[in-house]
Structure 1
Amino acid sequence: MTAHMLIKSDAEAPLIARGVDTQVIRALIYGGLAAADLLIVLGAFVGADLLRHSRLNDTLSHSYLLIVPVFMAVSLYSGCYTYGAVVSRSRSIPKVVGAFLAASGFTLVLIFALKNSGYLSRLAFFVGALFSLAGLVAVRMLVPQIIRRLGPRFFRRVLITDGGWSEAIPVGFERVDADGLGLRPELADPLMLHRFSQIVAGADRVVVACPVEHRERWSLYLKSVDCAGELLVPELHNVEPLGQDGVTGLAGVRVSVGRLDLRNRILKRCFDLAITAPVLVLLSPVMLLAAIAIKLESPGPVLFRQQRMGRANQLFDVFKFRSMYVDQGDQDGAQSTARGDQRITRVGRWIRATSIDELPQLFNVINGDMSLVGPRPHALGSRAGDELFWHVDRRYWLRHTIKPGLTGLAQVRGHRGATEVRADLTKRLESDIEYLSHWSVLSDIAILVRTAFVLVHRNAY
């Protein structure tokens, strides 16, 4: 079984293209809606000003255009661009009308406070307000129709059946027949985890129907991917617990939620790109010198590529400057690097001690496989003592619910270097889970600042 084997669904319910990330599509919808709102409000007030004066008046006379940025701020804060606010007219219209009225009131108070009310064209203001409300409501009438046309590309639901399934597939769900695909919740098989992640890639909700004895393992599988995951518990159906899903008609237990919602994923990605792009330019001379030194000292490629576990336990190729002799490289990461390791070249010792060997991973960040801050990605053969990482602690898979990072909380706490005993991994795992539980942009900034003080570390060899 290869890591990148193609997965085909059963003929009963073919799956949509793998890797379709509905959160990206929703981000485009939300962004387009926000842009439309901005243009509607701006166009309405500019048009009202032209109707009133036959031309755009001076700055003071249309100072009420302050309503445009105020409205955008209020609408963002009030959640006008979220899933719940766009799928239903009964929710979206009151939200946007309320946001606009609040922005109008605040703008009028601000104009009076700045003593510009004498220049305010009341007719232009109220005509612009009416045009704005009409345009905002009209757009909200259309958006749900667009979303219905997108269907599973906007919000994807997957039902995984492990065992027989004789009932009808719930409306809006795709069925994945685990038996037919040879999909088993094997906790000791990273390639099976990778395969599972490929199947549910981009899904927003994953429901698993399985025998009782498989629930614990499926629960861990669901927790290891960035989605809302549920286990169906048919024996609770007659009890009718609160929150029972009327769509499936069966009682389920939610066992996982996405670590980062759409807003925070976009925020983290923008932060990564804003830092990485200038840093790449700034450090390009250092990277060029390192590449020349590596090439001059020993034959072989400048870069070392290795498969590692990424977000949602999907495999990706990580880039590093080659620090070992080519014929002694450890492609699987089965042998931890030791102090005075003979496999490492002289240039390799220097770039590892200064963490320069990690700089090519900035391209992994640009590519979207990694983030600046997150749990460090590990090779499949990594061991703590004589045990593979995931044999030491089953929580190991949970650290992959977000993208791996160039640096992380474990690294700035000094948990680096060889994992000679189980405790070496456990300490890193505890730090990784703590980071996942308390993520914020401020925590990423703090870790990046602290990283500057541990680039040269006694365990970096």
Structure 2
Amino acid sequence: MNEIDPANRFSLDAVRKLESAGAEPAGRLNKVALQVASQYRRDTMSPVMVSGVLRLVEFALLFASGFVLFAYRVGLNTHLFWQYAAIIAAVSLAAVILLELSDCYQVQALMRPVRNLGRILLVWSGAFALLALAGFFMKVSEDFSRLLFGGWFVIGFALIFGLRLVLSNMIRRWARNGAMERRAVIVGGGKSAEALIRSVEQQPYNDIRICGIFDDRDDKRSPPIVAGYPKLGNIAELIEFARIARIDMLIVALPITAETRVLALLKKLWVLPVDIRLSAHSNQLQFRPRSYSYIGSVPMLDIFDKPINDWDSVAKRAFDIVLSLIGIALFSPVMLITAIAIKLDSEGPVIFRQKRHGFNNEVIEVYKFRSMFTELSDPSARQAVTKNDPRVTRVGRIIRKTSIDELPQFFNALFGSLSLVGPRPHAIAAQSHNLLYNEVVDGYFARHRVKPGVTGWAQINGWRGEMDTDEKIRKRTEYDLYYIENWSLWLDLKILLLTPVRLLNTENAY
């Protein structure tokens, strides 16, 4: 799909010019990496999502065209109304399934509808062949209008092919302007990275955009420019880069035999919410074909997948919106009474806003009912709330014990900064024995590969409230990582249903 954009290439002179520029980099990133990262701040459309939407649109178009023809040719008052409707729906569904089985929803096929004209015609004919076969064996074919189905065959094929002609032009435009692509970073430089890049470049109509290269080795062992792409920094800087740029994939260009180095890299990189692939294009070890995923014909070994991605993310977002609205409606009397009680009990605002770590380590603002005296509040959470803490108001003790102070987070979930279920977000300066949580737990930031939640798997398993020991932080992180690896909508629903029951245990809530 996307022949590698020349705009992504850098000359050595250009790199040196950027490095000598006066602007200061953000964090540990050098100026070149910062400039490249800033080009990729926007989210892109996923090819999986585009092809998924196309399935729905094609089913709807085929069904609608068949139903309109039925209404015009036969009429809606026929005694076979439901039979016609069921047949039209079944043929439309069969066509979509057959198009899927024949790989007609792959990006390469969508880019070249003319080349796939014969395959599309064969699939649509196959759907009607199944219809004819069913009518023959059920001995009911004479009851239905042949003219109707003949006309639908012609119109339906024209709609499928016409839609794909339009979509192919749209995909090409999206590819040119970067709206639809998979952004990849190469991990590891030198000859292996160059061979990988050349192989990816040779794949026609692939949707990969290479954003740069990161390698821990110095310029003598790993040159600053590889196949026209700059080495943007080391692995620590890659993590900073991926916090800014919307990266989809990390491709590790190291041989499988370099086990120690590969494992060391993966230990650092797995905290990022991206797909991680190990290039297998030049490895001597051969696995079964099903062991690989492919970029064009370039084989990759799947190491980590981005959690809750594509349609899973759509389903989870819809789940959040619907249940957040229900929660707001259901608990609005409680929230109103709480707001009045807070206002009468102490001076200050009703809502307390706190900066916390969100998805991909982004800083978000979380809403809570204020439970502390305004002048004693601790927005950075450097000092954890303890039992009988004098900073907590009378009303605050009640709403913290019952978790009523968390109810405004339904609005966070509705607006999208939180999910209803996920790892609980911690304040950006939360500490244990003067150590930040990420200094206590190795891989702590892997919790941020998904959007944080109002409630979570750790909370319903007893790990809520004060995190006053390193063991509690490790346990909460362990349960959060279990949730990420085992996510499903059923698990989210289970956690939501169990949350009110688990809140009856207020032992650790102060």
30-39 or 357-366: bigger deviation:
30-39
Q: Match for 1:223: what amino acid?
A: W
Q: Does 1:287 align with 2:323?
A: no
Instruction: Give the alignment of 1:341-420 within 5 angstroms.
Output: 341-420=389-468
Contact kept, 8 Å, 2:186 with 2:253, in 1: the verdict is yes
Q: Does 1:206 align with 2:250?
A: yes
The Cα of 1:453 is off from its aligned counterpart by 0.5
Instruction: Give the alignment of 1:430-445 within 5 angstroms.
Output: 430-445=478-493
What is the aligned partner in structure 1 of residue 10 from structure 2? Answer: none
What is the aligned partner in structure 2 of residue 422 from structure 1? Answer: 470
CA 303–244 in structure 1, closer or farther in 2 if over 3 Å, else same: closer
Q: Which residue, 268, 284, 289 being the options, matches 1:239?
A: 284
116-125 or 422-431: bigger deviation:
116-125
What is the aligned partner in structure 2 of residue 338 from structure 1? Answer: 386
**For the residues of structure 1 that align with 2:35 and 2:422, how far apart are their CA atoms?**
39
**For the residues of structure 2 that align with 1:425 and 1:67, how far apart are their CA atoms?**
58
Instruction: Give the alignment of 1:186-205 within 5 angstroms.
Output: 186=236, 196-199=242-245, 201=246, 203-205=247-249
Cα shift readout 1:95-152 (whole Å, capped 9, x = no counterpart): 8965884587479859997x97664223312432343234224433543443232114
Q: Match for 1:20: what amino acid?
A: D
Instruction: Give the alignment of 1:44-83 within 5 angstroms.
Output: 44-47=66-69, 50=72, 52=73, 58=78, 60=80, 63-71=83-91, 80=100
The Cα of 1:193 is off from its aligned counterpart by 5.0
Runs of at least 5 residues in structure 2 that lack an aligned partner in the other structure? 1-23, 202-207, 216-229
State the secondary structure of the residue aligned to 2:501.
coil
Instruction: Give the alignment of 1:2-401 within 5 angstroms.
Output: 16-23=39-46, 27=49, 30-31=52-53, 34-47=56-69, 50=72, 52=73, 58=78, 60=80, 63-71=83-91, 80=100, 85-89=105-109, 98=123, 101=126, 105=130, 109=134, 119-151=143-175, 152-160=178-186, 167=194, 171=201, 172-176=208-212, 185-186=235-236, 196-199=242-245, 201=246, 203-207=247-251, 218-220=265-267, 222-230=269-277, 237=282, 239=284, 254-401=302-449
State the secondary structure of the residue aligned to 2:365.
strand
Contact kept, 8 Å, 2:30 with 2:233, in 1: the verdict is no
The Cα of 1:266 is off from its aligned counterpart by 1.1
Contact kept, 8 Å, 1:223 with 1:255, in 2: the verdict is no
**For the residues of structure 2 that align with 1:64 and 1:119, how far apart are their CA atoms?**
10
**For the residues of structure 2 that align with 1:415 and 1:131, how far apart are their CA atoms?**
60
Contact kept, 8 Å, 2:214 with 2:235, in 1: the verdict is no
**For the residues of structure 2 that align with 1:455 and 1:2, how far apart are their CA atoms?**
45
Q: Match for 1:154: what amino acid?
A: M
**For the residues of structure 2 that align with 1:121 and 1:436, how far apart are their CA atoms?**
53
The Cα of 1:359 is off from its aligned counterpart by 1.0
State the secondary structure of the residue aligned to 1:378.
coil
State the secondary structure of the residue aligned to 2:396.
helix
**For the residues of structure 1 that align with 2:33 and 2:297, how far apart are their CA atoms?**
20
Runs of at least 5 residues in structure 1 that lack an aligned partner in the other structure? none
Q: Match for 2:249: what amino acid?
A: R
Matched residues, percent identical? 30
Contact kept, 8 Å, 2:29 with 2:233, in 1: the verdict is no
Q: Match for 2:148: what amino acid?
A: A
**For the residues of structure 1 that align with 2:121 and 2:341, how far apart are their CA atoms?**
59
**For the residues of structure 2 that align with 1:2 and 1:12, how far apart are their CA atoms?**
9
**For the residues of structure 2 that align with 1:357 and 1:2, how far apart are their CA atoms?**
39
Contact kept, 8 Å, 1:158 with 1:173, in 2: the verdict is yes
State the secondary structure of the residue aligned to 2:64.
helix
Contact kept, 8 Å, 1:18 with 1:198, in 2: the verdict is yes
Contact kept, 8 Å, 1:85 with 1:95, in 2: the verdict is no
Cα shift readout 1:182-228 (whole Å, capped 9, x = no counterpart): 865449xxxx95653221x2x33233569999865653454223321
The Cα of 1:342 is off from its aligned counterpart by 1.1
Q: How many residues align?
A: 448
Contact kept, 8 Å, 2:293 with 2:302, in 1: the verdict is no
**For the residues of structure 2 that align with 1:96 and 1:336, how far apart are their CA atoms?**
66
**For the residues of structure 2 that align with 1:267 and 1:162, how far apart are their CA atoms?**
36
What is the aligned partner in structure 1 of residue 18 from structure 2? Answer: none
294-303 or 175-184: bigger deviation:
175-184
CA 156–359 in structure 1, closer or farther in 2 if over 3 Å, else same: same
The Cα of 1:382 is off from its aligned counterpart by 2.5
Q: Match for 2:42: what amino acid?
A: G
Cα shift readout 1:293-349 (whole Å, capped 9, x = no counterpart): 222222222222222222223221111111112222222222222111111111111
RMSD: 4.4
TM-score by length of 2: 0.73
Q: Match for 2:347: what amino acid?
A: P
The Cα of 1:355 is off from its aligned counterpart by 0.9
Contact kept, 8 Å, 1:64 with 1:125, in 2: the verdict is no
Contact kept, 8 Å, 1:161 with 1:208, in 2: the verdict is yes
Q: Match for 1:435: what amino acid?
A: Y
Contact kept, 8 Å, 1:89 with 1:141, in 2: the verdict is no
Q: Match for 1:310: what amino acid?
A: G
334-343 or 253-262: bigger deviation:
253-262
**For the residues of structure 2 that align with 1:359 and 1:257, how far apart are their CA atoms?**
33
Contact kept, 8 Å, 1:159 with 1:209, in 2: the verdict is no
Q: Match for 2:423: what amino acid?
A: P
152-161 or 79-88: bigger deviation:
79-88
Contact kept, 8 Å, 1:198 with 1:314, in 2: the verdict is no
221-230 or 258-267: bigger deviation:
221-230
Cα shift readout 1:233-270 (whole Å, capped 9, x = no counterpart): 9xx84637565977798x87643211123121111111
Contact kept, 8 Å, 2:355 with 2:366, in 1: the verdict is yes
Contact kept, 8 Å, 1:310 with 1:370, in 2: the verdict is yes
